[in-house]
Amino acid sequence: MLKVRIAVLVSGGGTNLQALIDAQKQRKLRSGEIVLVLSNNANAYALTRARENGIKTEVVVKTERDNEVFEREVIRVLKENKIDFIVLAGFMSILSENFTSLYKNRIINIHPSLIPSFCGKGYYGIKVHEAALKYGVKVTGATVHFVNEIPDGGEIILQKSVPVKNGDTPEILQRRVMERAEWIILPRACEKVCKDIQREMKEEKEKENL
């Protein structure tokens, strides 16, 4: 069966991208293949990770262009590369309904909290962990969810909890959440969704052959 063609969208260091690349090498991610890494930041280290692993890279910088123009260019690149499935892995740009509706149930995101806690507009990166510590929660974690027009508002696919410990700083907690949750559930969610997409593709092909 043909593998699902995956694009990973990134903005920074690419630790979650690395988790996906490692899972692909270990055949934990086998129903899909990362064929493109796209960044809105030309200096993102994630691009280096991709190149070192023989994965095609593209950069679409927002700069002064409006969001509609930016998204149109991203969509052009995705279509050019025949992308079936999109993974947002630290992609610091909120996608509009015009974009997400084109890829319904074909875009997922990893968020560093147990949604619905500490999510939505303004909650990203280290800010999530700062908020969790300020609130005094004893358990946090990560969530993989489908992406729609509402920030962190799509259906949850997988979650994993992580303990908050006395003396944690936002940086220490961020690292623990990455190691014990994000890097584990993102590859699992990718494989799960890729299997579903493969099944849909097979059903569509069978209909065409009737």
For residue range 2-52, list pLDDT tens digits in order.
899 999 999 999 999 999 999 999 999 999 999 999 999 999 999 999 999
Please write the tens of the pLDDT for every residue from 97-131: 999 999 999 999 999 999 999 999 889 999 999 99
pTM: 0.94
Cα distance between residue 24 and residue 61, in whole Å: 28
Contact 15, 43 (CB under 8 A): no
Q: How confident is the model at residue 67 (pLDDT cuts 50, 70, 90)?
A: confident
- Give residue for tokens 């990560």: 142
Contacts of residue 150, Cβ cutoff 8 Å, sequence gap at least 6: 120
Residues designated as active site: 111
Encoded amino acid at 15, one letter: T
Nearest to 63 by CA among 88, 41, 39, 33: 41
Beta strands 56-59 and 156-163: pairing type? Answer: unpaired
Per domain, the residue ranges of the chain are: 4-208
Please write the tens of the pLDDT for every residue from 151-200: 899 999 999 999 999 999 999 999 999 999 999 999 999 999 999 999 99
Please state, for a pLDDT cut of 90, what percent of the chain lies above it. Answer: 85
* CATH superfamily to which 4-208 belongs: Formyl transferase, N-terminal domain (3.40.50.170)
CB atoms within 10 A of CB 153: 14
